[in-house]
Amino acid sequence: MKLVVIGNGMVGQRFVEALRARDTDGRCDVTVLAEESRAAYDRVGLSAYFTGTAAEDLSLVPDGFYDGDPTLALRLGDPAVSIDRERRVVLTRSGEHPYDALVLATGSSAFVPPVPGHDLPGCFVYRTLDDLEALRTHCAGKRVGAVVGGGLLGLEAANALRLLGLRTHVVEFAPRLMPMQLDEAGGAMLRRHVEALGLTVHTGTKTERLEPGPNGAVGRMVFAGDSSAGDATDSSAEEPCADSGSFPGVEVDTVVFAAGVRPRDELARACDLRVGPRGGVVVDESCRTSDAAIYAVGECACVEGRVYGLVAPGYAMADVVARHLTGGDATPATFVSGDTSTKLKLLGVDVASFGDTTGELDVVYSDPAHGIYAKLALTDDAQTLLGGILVGDASAYATLRASVGGPLPGKLADFLGSGEIQGDLPGTAQVCSCHAVTKDDILTAVGDGCADVSALKSCTRAGTGCGSCVPLLKTLLAQAGVEQSKALCEHFAYSRQELFDLIRVRELRTFSSIVAELGTGRGCDLCKPTIASILASLGNGHILDGEQAALQDTNDHFLANLQRNGTYSVVPRIPGGEITPDKLIVIGEVARDFGLYTKITGAQRIDLLGARVEQLPQIWRRLVDAGMESGHAYGKAVRTVKSCVGTTWCRYGVQDSVGLAIELELRYRGLRSPHKIKAAVSGCARECAEARGKDVGVIATENGWNLFVGGNGGFRPRHADLFATDLDTETLVRTIDRFLMFYIRTADRLQRTSAWIEGLDGGLDYLRSVIVDDSLGLCADLDAAMSRHAATYADEWRATLEDPEKLRRFVSFVNAPGTPDPSIEFVTQRGQSVPAGAPVLVAGPTLATRAQQEVHG
């Protein structure tokens, strides 16, 4: 049988692979016609192209798949021009290709709204690798970009512009982000996350036209309701829009259209195949078109009036057609409806939706403080899960999605409390919707010898589609008693602890040498910052020196915390919360002169917020000259040691808590670690410094100090455990030295001390045996490591100010170093500058006024 496939995208390639796997006797002679010059690649992962992933790494075609088989041909850059149904021939620019069966896998094209100016230079779509290459080339030296569309693709495109260094606007016509997947509350939570990264979001906003700038390229985006044409060079033309709370227009030099897709059905229309009223080639449940010899799969197919724009339904269609064409099944394959579940990390934020997002009984959990929102749709008896929405924490997605249509796999209260569900799935539960793999299929594969996720992927294909089921694969392997790999990521087969020891012993000092000796590939956003932290913990010079600078995340890259409006915070160290009047005056003068928002933090420091990136060196020059240094609020490092006033002032104090807190903070300042570390010292049992909520807590006794370890606040607060009692100061400091250094060497990436201790085999008793009884013979090495750190500490900001090369990075625009970012705007609130658009509490009389009314009658 001669088979022609038009299209070599993700679904087209999936069909060919499924067909070859079933066509064991080689009856099908397959020709694949591809429009692009590249073989199939992962369109879902396109944004990885801007984080260093090479185009070839996105390929979906197994090595040698199209080589050496005379019955399988891939013709790149040879798109179909027309279909002659009577002769059963597909015509391309290079010739004719006869067929007995034809599969249309032409996918979709980007929808560009017909707004005036959409074809100006500087306007792009976000669909192919060629689109991304053109976008990256154009963005060199550009400053402000806008994305039309706030759905899945729009937010991916916005992240791309952000990674390319542009100040980015997201413009969505619907009243919320991701309107097809999220409800109003979920969209609002996602918006908070997105705006916290410095992006500007305009919802309920229609783009009316694009206007050219002086160079003829796009220069301004005008929103509906803006009566002024505006001068594209006038940055003051932005004015609030009364009806939407947005802006009537913004100056831009780059626009990306990501407002949706349209099925590529032009070939079908030209040969009089039936198409849907809103586009798409109409197919039946076997994915056959109105011509019995022609099938359609993926985004070009219309099933019962619906076109699916996701890869999982397309894969299901591809499998259906492969089964039809090869035969041999007792039950004919049918496509009834597709799985529209989605889970993505958009701009670093977990977002997921699955099943029906509204049910007879909706259970909602919202934690605005930590940016987490969950909604489960249930039947009215709360016995059946219909679907749900997860924003901020999607760790339970794989288990929940596999449970749709059945009982909730765990107690509802447990899920709402922890964000995790631990329960048992029925064997028929679909673990991987992309490839229709059930739990029973996975367990069968495990029983046949699959001992890791990689083997399960090869055997069942689970996890090779969108990848969202991989966490559940790991869970099922663990439940089956299979020991799991602790590999840091796909580039390193070692855990963080193993990498730390290998780097230390082999004295490796650069990422390139580490990946050459210990790993593969070019690294990723998991291993790069992890290795940067390891190198910093080992005292490998300044974090912005040479190759090490490229490994840092945004905060460490600029030695400051990025805030919601694209500005940064400045937090000088105030050891133990003690500060002289002179230094306090300098902080006040700096805040006044640079117009910074000033706030006392919960850790007894002063936070100066609202600094533009080019202002950071100027601010730190004045602070450093006054004798202050970095407080490392931006780093995974020892942050603060909080204290009460102790015996110095308090009549209840029994020890000098302030003096000890200062000594500890100065000893551990700059110590890099797997996660942030906070400490506190209380001068008596009244615990005013809240030491038992810290990673390291010290409480004074009549006989010395009690040491507590492993506490933390955050999403899952935990009290610290009592580790040792009545220690003298020297023993206390030595014990803390060993605790911190052992944690740094053995914890996983981004693992707090609380979780680390809970994960130790033997827990607190084991930890005590290692750092008190020296059961492993490590104590001398741990002592020496901490002594080296204390002796070699140097303030990162002082070193930065002394190095002109490091200072070059502190600019808003590399092509205009002295130019401030014009998109950063402030308003005055309670006498201080805050980001424009920040939420404001406005509700009648203030609480203070009410209190005065109550007091004064």
Residue at 350: amino acid letter = D
Question: In this structure, what DSSP letter does residue 488 have?
Answer: S
Q: How far is the CA of 234 from the CAs of 112, 117, 250, 651, 812, in angstroms? A: 27, 19, 10, 63, 19
CB 587 within 8 A of CB 570: no
Extract the annotated binding site for siroheme: 688
d(CA 42, CA 510): 31
Residue 63, exposed/middle/buried by CB under 10 A (0-12, 13-18, 19+)? exposed
Q: Where would I find the H helices in 243-283?
A: 266-270
3-state SS assignment for residue 114: coil
The per-residue b/e assignment along 567-579, b for 16 or more CB within 10 angstroms, e otherwise, is: bbbbbbbbbbbbb
Neighbours of 323 (CB within 10 A): 19
In the numeric block, the tokens 């039947």 are attached to: 379
For 355-359, the CB contacts below 8 A with 24+ separation are 355/385, 355/386, 355/387, 355/388, 355/401, 355/404, 355/405, 356/386, 356/387, 357/181, 357/182, 357/183, 357/387, 357/388, 357/389, 358/183, 359/386, 359/387
3-state SS assignment for residue 625: helix
CA geometry: angle at 557 spanning 556 and 562, to 5°?
70
> In 3D, which of 120, 80, 111, 77 has the Cα closest to residue 96?
80
d(CA 80, CA 82): 6
* All residues at 6 or more sequence positions from 324 whose CB lies less than 8 Å from its CB, including other chains: 286, 287, 288, 295, 332, 333
Among left, alpha and beta (phi > 0; psi -120 to 50; other), residue 57 is: alpha
Residue 147, exposed/middle/buried by CB under 10 A (0-12, 13-18, 19+)? buried
The dihedral built from the CA positions of residue 809, 815, 821 and 823, taken in this order, carries a sign that is negative
Strand ranges inside 193-285, DSSP E: 200-203, 207-212, 218-223, 249-251, 254-257, 261-263, 281-283
d(CA 349, CA 155): 11
d(CA 155, CA 158): 5
Neighbours of 780 (CB within 10 A): 9
The dihedral built from the CA positions of residue 555, 371, 687 and 724, taken in this order, carries a sign that is negative
Extract the annotated binding site for [4Fe-4S] cluster: 644, 650, 684, 688
Residue at 700: amino acid letter = A
Residue at 136: amino acid letter = R
CB 108 within 8 A of CB 262: yes
CB 639 within 8 A of CB 676: yes
d(CA 545, CA 831): 40
Among left, alpha and beta (phi > 0; psi -120 to 50; other), residue 361 is: beta
CB 313 within 8 A of CB 331: no
Residue at 564: amino acid letter = R
d(CA 432, CA 389): 18
Phi, psi angle pair for 681, to nearest 5°: -130, 120
